């Protein structure tokens, strides 16, 4: 197993600045072997970013990109032991956050925090089942396009994702604080490692970004993965096909380790967070893609 940690530009061409904006657009850049083309790039201060992002849409307001990192965790949640937040998702004005217990040596629970459109929040603490890893138990969450289900997973090498009914939006989901039970599992036909962020780009397709430093599972490290389901998520177990569609953009004046993080899809635009190597990691790079 060979570690690949330095910058690679597989599948990408040099970015050029789009005059008059703060974004960069990669001329002709595509994710190698996929149907996505890079259309933009921006940076966000790492004091608010670097663990995930989601687009929140509230009635009568412009869409808002919501970022997450350790500094965005409310102090009361830290006091409860929820010291790590993963890649969130948002739908219909709701924001869904995933938290990990960083205080207990062998965590037995993970937590979902739901922020409603009016700003009120509800905690759903889930006791881990025997097949749910305790370490890094809640790395990312993605809401199905119909809003009925949340798909989440841990950070390590895994062969499944976990499906839960969406609180407040699914009649089977809880409407008050308590457990958010696992309703089904998405079994993966190929293992994935260190999936930092995922989002649905259609009813039967997820795109995930990994921080996997090795190339033993897929042709490259730091993969963008496509997960295809045979049918929309419906609360029953299903087996999905996994394939790599390319490597995340690794562009920096600094050399060293890149860390892919959150994934967001909204209104035809796919966004991927990448934290560049130190000392350039004072910002998080956010790359935007559209379908070819």
Q: Is the alpha carbon torsion for 42, 44, 49, 53 positive or negative?
A: negative
Give the pairing type, strands 52-56 and 36-45.
unpaired
Average pLDDT over residues 42-69: 97
Give the pairing type, strands 36-45 and 283-291.
antiparallel
What is the side-by-side order of every strand in the sheet holding 269-275? 36-45, 283-291, 269-275, 259-266
Q: Give the tokens for residue 20.
A: 């008059």
**Residue 32 pLDDT level (bands cut at 50, 70, 90):** low
| CATH topology (fold) of 45-286 | Neuraminidase (2.120.10)
**Residue 66 pLDDT level (bands cut at 50, 70, 90):** very high
Mention every residue, 6+ apart, whose C-beta is less than 8 A from residue 99. 73, 77, 82, 84, 85, 86, 110, 111, 112, 113, 138
For the stretch 95-108, pLDDT in tens is 999 999 999 999 99
**Residue 2 pLDDT level (bands cut at 50, 70, 90):** very low
Domain layout of the chain by residue ranges? 45-286
Alpha-carbon Rg of the chain, whole angstroms? 18
Question: What is the Cα 169 distance to its own chain's centre?
Answer: 21
Mention every residue, 6+ apart, whose C-beta is less than 8 A from residue 21. none
Average pLDDT over residues 121-130: 97
pTM reported for the whole predicted model: 0.89
Query: Considering the chain, what percentage of its residues have pLDDT values greater than 90?
Result: 87
**Residue 117 scores a pLDDT above 80:** yes
Cα distance between residue 11 and residue 159, in whole Å:
27
Average pLDDT over residues 150-165: 97
Grouping H, G, I as helix, E, B as strand and the rest as coil, residue 52 is strand
């Amino acid at each position: 197993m060979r570690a690949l940690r330095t910058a690679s530009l597989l599948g990408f061409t040099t970015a050029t600045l789009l005059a008059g904006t703060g974004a960069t657009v990669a001329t002709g850049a595509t994710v190698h072997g996929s149907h996505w083309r890079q259309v933009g790039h921006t940076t966000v201060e790492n004091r608010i970013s670097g663990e995930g992002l989601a687009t929140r849409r509230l009635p009568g307001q412009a869409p808002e990109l919501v970022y997450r990192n350790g500094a965005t965790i409310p102090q009361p949640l830290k006091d409860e032991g929820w010291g790590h937040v993963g890649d969130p998702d948002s739908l219909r004005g709701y924001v869904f956050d995933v938290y990990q217990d960083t205080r207990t040596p062998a965590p037995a629970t993970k937590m979902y925090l739901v922020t409603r459109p009016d700003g009120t929040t509800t905690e759903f603490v889930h006791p881990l089942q025997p097949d749910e890893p305790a370490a890094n138990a809640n790395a990312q969450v993605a809401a199905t396009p119909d809003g009925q289900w949340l798909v989440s997973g841990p950070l390590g090498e895994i062969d499944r994702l976990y499906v839960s009914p969406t609180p407040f939006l699914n009649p089977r989901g809880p409407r008050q604080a308590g457990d958010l039970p696992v309703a089904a599992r998405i079994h993966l036909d190929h293992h994935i490692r260190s999936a930092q962020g995922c989002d649905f780009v259609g009813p039967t397709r997820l795109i995930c970004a990994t921080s996997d430093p090795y190339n033993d599972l897929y042709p490259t490290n730091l993969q963008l993965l496509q997960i295809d389901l045979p049918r929309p998520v419906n609360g029953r177990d299903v087996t999905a096909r996994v394939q790599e569609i390319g490597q995340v953009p690794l562009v920096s004046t600094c050399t060293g380790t890149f860390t892919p993080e959150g994934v967001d899809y909204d209104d035809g635009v796919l966004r991927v967070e990448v934290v560049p190597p130190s000392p350039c990691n004072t910002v998080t790079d956010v790359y935007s893609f559209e379908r070819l």
